[in-house]
Amino acid sequence: FQDEEDMFMVVDLLLGGDLRYHLQQNVHFTESTVKLYICELALALGYLRCKHIIHRDIKPDNILLDEHGHVHLTDFNIAAIVKEDLKATSIAGTKPYMAPELFQNFEGSHPGYSFSVDWWSLGITAYELLRGQRPYVMRSNTPSNEILQMFHKIHPTYPAAWSLEMKSLLRKLLSIDVQKRISCLAELQDLDYVSDVNWDAVLSKQLSPGFIPNRRRLNCDPTFELEEMILESKPLHKKKKRLARKTREHGSDGSPQSGLLQSRLDNVQRDFIVFNREKTKMALVDSSELSTSEKNKAIEDGQNNNVEPASYLSG
């Protein structure tokens, strides 16, 4: 819907925060948790490919968690639509997560790029979640030619504690050679590492992630939200005064449709009751027969909320 100034989009409420926030809170993501994240995001990339969409900005900041710990891809501000057998050529993304062919395209040594760039970004993200740092150290001001040299001179290291299967998967996602990189859902599903995955259960979010955000926390940095509000050129909390001033200055058009619309909007504003689903859920928990210790365990296990995930097997 829209008003005189803005268009509003209603999206799903995701209360778990983004993965960047949890990395900054020193959350340790286990390999089984990251494996499930990869599978859920791979399904998202498979869907986007069916719609001919390249996301171009996959990173922890753009991956949100719901209250159960499942990942959701967001922020399609720089996404591109690419038809079959065609390639994108514009440069877009966040440098530490951008695939080599994006920089090669910028330097004129690569004829465009396609869906494979998102799978590279997925590999960088998975590596960072497991290790707490990215495989390549670069900044937003690092020149493209230096980044290309880095890709050829520096080989990512993989801790011995990681399974051989996970290391093999990351190497396939982080292959500089596009032809050797995993670049579609079917190629990922062919790997032995995910042969035990029940993909229908992943799609329907029936598998419990190993990390569940604390529902009693905000799961975001409130100072960041405050800064955005302060820096906003047309802050939302002052919109009512702006629109009233505009009406006084220009006057109403006086049409019956305008008066009827305003009347309905006034009724909605007066009668609408905000539904607090968290309050409802807490009431249900309090009325259950769980013991106090069981309730506390259900809320948080005390170890970064990492819990044992459900089996990937289909049964």
Catalytic residue set: 57
Instruction: Provide the greatest CA pair distance for the chain.
Output: 74
Do 173 and 123 touch, CB atoms closer than 8 A?
yes
First and final C-alpha spacing in the chain: 45
Whether the CB-CB separation of 129 and 60 falls below 8 Å is answered with yes
Indicate the burial class of 12 (C-beta count within 10 angstroms; 0-12, 13-18, 19 or more): exposed
Contact 78, 108 (CB under 8 A): no
Find, among 5, 61, 68, the residue nearest to 210 by Cα.
Answer: 68
Long-range contacts at 5-11 (CB < 8 A, ≥ 24 apart) = 5/234, 5/239, 5/242, 5/243
d(CA 73, CA 118): 12
Instruction: Give the integer Cα–Cα distance in Å for 202 and 65.
Output: 15
Query: Measured on CA atoms in the order 240, 242, 248, 253, is the torsion positive or negative?
Result: negative
Contacting residues for 275 by C-beta, under 8 A, at least 6 apart: none
Task: Measure Cα distances from 279 to 99, 163, 255, 259, 294 in Å.
Answer: 44, 42, 43, 37, 19
